[in-house]
């Protein structure tokens, strides 16, 4: 059987009793817990609701991948709710701020960006979600739908959706602790986040479509990421589902 990079990744990130590293072998220099953008416009988000809504079991039943969307916008309150459901802080204990989704070692290497096409109260552009302050930082103003489509191999739903969630991984944040195994944990973290978004969207009457196919360098370039220490790993479109034919 041919051996490719995927096979190498799986083999080289295995743990065994002979290869596992102790916590004392971590590298020096702790990365920042949160990424921040200073000296850019900020948007305060409405306070998210934490009770009521559709039952969890009903959200499971209704969840479907949605690729066609109406042109109606989502509200800033709905966007706030979705952001909180994916990365919102739920409790603080000592030096740890726990979130709605799990993360290996509570290190939370995944950062959230948004490509806003149609959000009431938010002009078009690319934003970064500040977890610690529950606000958005505008990092690239202006329509971005067509650029997103081109960077995602022609997937037009990225332009038709009201908003696109873009997740990056800050690799040193978790690699310091878990070394090569960190890459497995990063992708697991992203999966937890995307599922929370899918279920939260259903409860708001919205649809989602997870996306893993894109040109890495082009997508990183849109967000101003170096593609090494921080790199895009996953995306999800969000919008109001169009009626089925």
178 in any annotated domain: yes
Tally of CA atoms within 13 A in the half-sphere of 24 that contains its CB: 0
- pLDDT tens column, 121-168: 999 999 999 999 999 999 999 999 999 999 999 999 999 999 999 999
129 in any annotated domain: yes
15 in any annotated domain: no
11 in any annotated domain: no
228 in any annotated domain: yes
Does the pLDDT at position 104 exceed 80?
A: yes
184-189 contacts at long range (C-beta below 8 A, 24 or more positions apart): 184/13, 185/103, 185/104, 185/105, 185/109, 186/109, 186/110, 186/233, 187/233, 188/104, 189/101, 189/102, 189/103, 189/104, 189/108, 189/109, 189/110
Q: What is the pTM of this model?
A: 0.93
14 in any annotated domain: no
Range of the domain at 43: 38-239
Number of domains in the chain: 1
6 in any annotated domain: no
- pLDDT tens column, 23-52: 445 555 677 888 999 999 999 999 998 888
Q: Mean per-residue pLDDT for 169-187?
A: 95
CATH number at residue 187: 3.40.109.10
85 in any annotated domain: yes
């Amino acid at each position: 059987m041919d051996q490719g990079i995927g096979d190498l990744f799986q083999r080289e990130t295995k743990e065994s009793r002979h290869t596992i590293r102790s916590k004392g072998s971590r590298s020096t220099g702790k990365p920042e817990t949160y990424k921040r953008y200073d000296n850019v416009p900020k948007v305060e988000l409405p306070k998210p609701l934490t009770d009521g809504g559709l039952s969890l079991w009903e959200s499971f039943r209704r969840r479907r991948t949605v690729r066609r969307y109406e042109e109606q916008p989502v509200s800033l309150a709905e966007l706030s709710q979705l952001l909180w459901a994916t990365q919102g802080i739920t409790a603080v204990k000592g030096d740890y701020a726990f979130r709605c989704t799990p993360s290996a070692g509570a290190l939370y290497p995944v950062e959230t960006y948004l490509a806003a096409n149609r959000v009431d109260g938010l002009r078009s552009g690319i934003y970064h979600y500040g977890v610690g302050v529950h606000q958005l930082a505008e990092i690239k103003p202006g329509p971005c739908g067509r650029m997103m489509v081109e960077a995602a191999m022609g997937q037009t739903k990225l332009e038709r959706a009201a908003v696109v969630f873009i997740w990056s991984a800050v690799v040193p944040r978790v690699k310091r602790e878990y070394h090569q195994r960190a890459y497995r944990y990063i992708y697991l973290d992203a999966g937890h986040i995307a599922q929370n978004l899918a279920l939260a969207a259903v409860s708001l009457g919205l649809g989602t479509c997870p996306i893993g196919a894109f040109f890495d360098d082009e997508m990183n370039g849109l967000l101003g990421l170096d593609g090494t220490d921080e790199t895009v790993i996953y995306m999800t479109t969000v919008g109001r589902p169009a009626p089925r034919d």
